[in-house]
RNA sequence: CGGGCGGUGGCUUAGCCCGGCAAAGCGCCUGCUUUGGGAGCAGGAGACCGGCGGUUCGAAUCCGCCCCGCCCGACCA
């Protein structure tokens, strides 16, 4: 490809609406252009890199025994209504109505398509296991699209679905996929980790996220300083100091706290630490009222709360809920909650004594509140949100919060979909049983952003060979000198014929522009033909990743390029 | 959806407080001069200042409503 013809106009300055480095560089280097929030056009360079990722994923999926199919994006609503996800996905699913008035959706994921498909075709345990995958654009009306390709409303995903006859089989299929995922991310040169995660709307029990470490990322995860624990923030736990305080029990005393209804206001007013206040938060879990108790310096993890309660939907009390219940927002305490409220306390407050908490009246708090004597706890659960510095659940080491981009997520679904959709096979004894399923996603367009985020410097992108749109750029440094142009052209043709993925920068611009663009786009290697070298019969080679420059005789240039590319990461 | 910030030629921005000829750099076109790390000079094209309404003799500027985008948060590959 000649750059004079390539549909790629690089930008000297970052567009104002891009903040993340990967986003800015992908736009500046002419890989992508924004169409609207969370929706991007793939330009030739970006599309080539995206295809490379796709092919890596395909080869590893095929190698792991999965078979590629292609499922529709436009979906009927019925199976979604059966599994409850038509509602559960809510506004995150793009919904439309056809001319006949039927509800349709754009696919955010495809369990509801693949499960009935397999159930209709593979009816016997003899057919199992089977694993089907596709690479297709997905649609989710995200609450907040972010960082360009990192979280789009339209994104390219590889989704695979395994079907097994029993739990052991499902686990084996799962392991095979996890190993394939490791190879995919290794081949993409990603610095990544595997963590325990929350299964969200997909459901199921065991699941893992593959996280690419980045300074900007849509995801927060927790790691132990000793490296023995890592989990997504939504799933992370911590050791709670269970040792009971030996403090003497103080009497329950009301104190006036006029106008002070935030934790900060109250403890400052009373001259105490936030950890001494017992926060009482009202939730509705599948409709039932639940009070959650945590220390004043900790937040509730609603994902963990939902799981602890076995609830599908957990949301905080609205003002209407407060009005209907007669509880006083801002001055809640567990002492006088009605009997129909389930009181859930985070394990970390178990040892605490003499709490400050609300008095259930405006402008009143109490001190000296104690569990057992003054209030009851119906359930002790692990529902606290991990904070920086909490103790590791494995070793007690200090936990740290880091950001990452989730590039893959694997789930052991069990019968989450096969049961409601009545997707069954006949086992050895002739009994109908639901399939044991797994599902496995890789964000392909997201990998493009994650790799850009991890492989760059202040000059631009630094693509690993496996993902670079082209391996090499041949730069003619002096377009006014026919000898230079002729030599560059000749080398370009030769490299092309040898099968290299090479572009020829034959644009009529100054050398500086070409060098800057070559660094910005991030070709792994650059070959520079200029009048300076030509005098001594040489060309210059540069490795983008290390900045290493060498000279090679013109005749030897193609093999020198091949050797240099060998070295490139 | 809540909080914060923003929308002015293709891009980055100034102008907005304090109303009075829409401006600069980059990019683009023409010509000349240049040519190894985003060259120089000269000329040129390109903007109903996000939209609608209001105030005013006069609105990019003031007021109201709406739309769009970015960042933080709640959700996710």
In this structure, is residue A50 part of a structural domain?
A: yes
In this structure, is residue A20 part of a structural domain?
A: no
Q: Are residues A208 and A60 in the same domain?
A: yes
Kindly provide the b/e burial profile for residues A64-86, where b requires at least 16 CB atoms within 10 angstroms of the residue's own CB. Answer: bebeeeebebebebebbeebebb
Is the CB atom of residue A516 positioned under 7 angstroms from any atom of strand B? yes
Q: Last residue of some domain: A381, A411, A428?
A: A381
Q: Are residues A70 and A217 in the same domain?
A: yes
Distance from CA(A510) to C1'(B36), angstroms, rounded = 9
pLDDT of A242 > 70? The answer is no
Distance from CA(A286) to C1'(B53), angstroms, rounded = 46
Residue A194 structure tokens: 């595997």
pLDDT (0 to 100) of residue A475 = 97
Q: Last residue of some domain: A352, A381, A410?
A: A381
Closest nucleotide C1' to the C-alpha of A411: B77
Tell me the pLDDT tens digit for each residue of A319-378. Answer: 778 888 888 888 889 987 888 899 999 988 888 889 999 888 888 899 999 999 999 999
Mean pLDDT for the stretch of residues A425-440: 96
Instruction: Indicate the number of domains in chain A.
Output: 3
Report the C-alpha gap between A477 and A108 in whole angstroms.
48
Tell me the pLDDT tens digit for each residue of A490-527. Answer: 999 999 999 999 999 999 999 999 999 999 999 999 99
Q: Are residues A103 and A178 in the same domain?
A: yes
Residue A42 in 3-state DSSP?
strand
Listed residue (A529, A489, A437) closest to A163, CA to CA: A437
Is the CB atom of residue A374 positioned under 7 angstroms from any atom of strand B? no
Residue A207 structure tokens: 């699941």
Q: Are residues A184 and A69 in the same domain?
A: yes
Closest nucleotide C1' to the C-alpha of A530: B36
Task: Supply the CATH number for residue A530's domain.
Answer: 3.40.50.800
Closest nucleotide C1' to the C-alpha of A200: B76
Range of the domain at A553: 470-567
Listed residue (A68, A67, A64, A70) closest to A174, CA to CA: A64
Report the C-alpha gap between A497 and A495 in whole angstroms.
5
Task: Supply the CATH number for residue A426's domain.
Answer: 3.30.930.10
pLDDT of A90 > 80? The answer is yes
Local structure of residue A89 (DSSP, 8 states): S
Cis peptide before A129 (omega within 30 of 0): yes
Mean pLDDT for the stretch of residues A298-316: 84
Q: Are residues A71 and A135 in the same domain?
A: yes
Q: Are residues A476 and A416 in the same domain?
A: no
In this prediction, what percent of chain A has a pLDDT beyond 70? 99
Is the CB atom of residue A510 positioned under 7 angstroms from any atom of strand B? yes
Q: Are residues A57 and A133 in the same domain?
A: yes
Q: Using pLDDT thresholds of 50, 70 and 90, give the confidence band for residue A287.
A: confident
Closest nucleotide C1' to the C-alpha of A460: B38
Give the pairing of strands A502-505 and A472-476.
Answer: parallel
Q: Are residues A300 and A201 in the same domain?
A: no
In this structure, is residue A391 part of a structural domain?
A: no
Q: Are residues A60 and A183 in the same domain?
A: yes
Give the count of alpha carbons within 13 A of A20, CB side only. Answer: 24
Q: Using pLDDT thresholds of 50, 70 and 90, give the confidence band for residue A241.
A: low
pLDDT of A55 > 70? The answer is yes
Q: Are residues A106 and A133 in the same domain?
A: yes
Q: Decide: A356 and A277 in contact? Cβ < 8 Å.
A: yes
Residue with tokens 């000296």: A368
Task: Supply the CATH number for residue A271's domain.
Answer: 3.90.960.10
Closest nucleotide C1' to the C-alpha of A479: B35
In this structure, is residue A99 part of a structural domain?
A: yes
Q: Which of A131-145, A297-311, A314-328, A400-414 is the least confident region?
A: A314-328
In this structure, is residue A93 part of a structural domain?
A: yes
Protein-proximal nucleotides of chain B (any atom < 7 Å from a CB) = 1-2, 6, 11-13, 25-27, 34-39, 68-77
Mean pLDDT for the stretch of residues A281-288: 86
Q: Are residues A347 and A299 in the same domain?
A: yes
Residue with tokens 């041949």: A474
In this structure, is residue A332 part of a structural domain?
A: yes
Residue A527 structure tokens: 């070959």
Q: Are residues A95 and A228 in the same domain?
A: yes
Is the CB atom of residue A513 positioned under 7 angstroms from any atom of strand B? yes
Distance from CA(A165) to C1'(B21), angstroms, rounded = 80
Q: Decide: A284 and A368 in contact? Cβ < 8 Å.
A: no
Q: Using pLDDT thresholds of 50, 70 and 90, give the confidence band for residue A405.
A: very high
Report the C-alpha gap between A511 and A477 in whole angstroms.
5
Give the count of alpha carbons within 13 A of A93, CB side only. Answer: 26
Q: Last residue of some domain: A311, A346, A381?
A: A381
Closest nucleotide C1' to the C-alpha of A140: B76
Task: Check residues 204 to 233 of chain A and report those whose beta carbon is under 7 Å from nucleic acid strand B.
Answer: 209-210, 216, 218-220
Mean pLDDT for the stretch of residues A161-176: 97
Is the CB atom of residue A135 positioned under 7 angstroms from any atom of strand B? no
Nearest-5° Cα angle at A240, A235 to A246: 165
Is the CB atom of residue A544 positioned under 7 angstroms from any atom of strand B? no
Report the C-alpha gap between A161 and A438 in whole angstroms.
6
Report the C-alpha gap between A437 and A413 in whole angstroms.
5
In this structure, is residue A392 part of a structural domain?
A: no
pLDDT (0 to 100) of residue A419 = 94
In this structure, is residue A21 part of a structural domain?
A: no
pLDDT of A217 > 80? The answer is yes
Is the CB atom of residue A302 positioned under 7 angstroms from any atom of strand B? yes
């Amino acid at each position: 490809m000649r750059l004079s013809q390539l549909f790629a106009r690089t930008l000297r300055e970052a567009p104002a609406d891009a903040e993340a480095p990967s986003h800015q560089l992908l736009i500046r280097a002419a890989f992508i252009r924004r169409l609207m929030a969370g929706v991007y056009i793939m330009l030739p360079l970006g599309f080539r890199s995206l295809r490379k990722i796709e092919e890596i994923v395909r080869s590893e999926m095929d190698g792991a025994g999965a078979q590629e199919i292609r499922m529709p994006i436009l979906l009927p609503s019925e199976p979604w209504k059966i599994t409850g996800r038509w509602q559960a996905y809510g506004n995150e699913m793009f919904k439309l109505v056809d001319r006949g008035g039927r509800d349709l959706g754009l696919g955010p994921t495809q369990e509801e398509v693949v499960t009935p498909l397999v159930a209709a075709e593979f009816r016997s345990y003899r057919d199992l296991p089977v694993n089907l995958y596709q690479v297709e654009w997905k649609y989710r009306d995200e609450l907040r699209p972010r960082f360009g390709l990192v979280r789009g409303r339209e994104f390219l995903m590889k989704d695979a679905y395994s079907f097994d006859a029993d739990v052991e089989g499902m686990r084996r299929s799962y392991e095979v996929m996890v190993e394939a995922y490791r190879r995919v991310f290794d081949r993409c040169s990603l610095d990544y980790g595997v963590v325990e995660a929350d299964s969200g709307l997909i459901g199921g029990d065991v699941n893992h996220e593959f996280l690419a470490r980045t300074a900007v990322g849509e995801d927060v995860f927790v790691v132990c300083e000793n490296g023995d624990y890592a989990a997504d923030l939504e799933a992370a736990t911590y050791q709670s100091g269970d040792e009971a305080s030996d403090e003497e029990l103080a009497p329950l005393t009301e104190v006036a706290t006029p106008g002070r209804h935030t934790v900060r206001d109250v403890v400052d007013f009373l001259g105490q630490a936030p950890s001494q206040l017992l926060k009482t938060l009202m939730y509705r879990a599948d409709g039932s009222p639940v009070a959650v108790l945590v220390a004043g310096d900790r937040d509730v993890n609603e994902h963990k709360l939902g799981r602890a309660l076995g609830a599908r939907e957990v949301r905080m009390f609205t003002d209407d809920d407060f009005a209907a219940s007669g509880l006083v927002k801002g001055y809640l305490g567990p002492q006088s909650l009605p009997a129909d409220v389930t009181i859930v306390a985070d394990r970390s407050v178990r040892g605490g004594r003499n709490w400050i908490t609300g008095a259930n009246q405006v402008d009143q708090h109490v001190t000296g509140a104690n569990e057992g004597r003054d209030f009851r706890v119906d359930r002790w659960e692990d529902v606290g949100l991990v904070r920086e510095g909490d103790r590791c659940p494995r070793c007690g080491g200090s936990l740290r919060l880091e950001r990452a981009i989730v590039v893959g997520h694997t789930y052991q679904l069990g019968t989450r979909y096969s049961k409601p959709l009545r997707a069954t096979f006949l086992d050895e004894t002739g009994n109908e049983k639901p399939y044991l399923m797994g599902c496995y996603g890789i964000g392909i367009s997201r990998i493009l952003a994650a790799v850009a985020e991890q492989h760059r410097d202040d000059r631009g992108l630094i693509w690993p060979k496996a993902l670079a749109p082209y391996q090499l750029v041949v730069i003619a440094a002096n377009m006014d000198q026919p000898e230079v142009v002729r030599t560059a052209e000749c080398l370009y043709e030769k490299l092309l014929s040898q099968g290299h993925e090479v572009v020829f920068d034959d644009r009529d611009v100054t050398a500086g522009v070409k060098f800057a663009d070559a660094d910005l786009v991030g070709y792994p290697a650059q070959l520079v033909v200029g009048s300076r070298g030509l005098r001594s019969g040489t060309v210059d080679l540069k490795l983008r990743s290390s900045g290493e420059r060498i000279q090679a005789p013109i005749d030897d240039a193609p093999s020198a390029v091949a050797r240099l590319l060998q070295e490139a990461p």
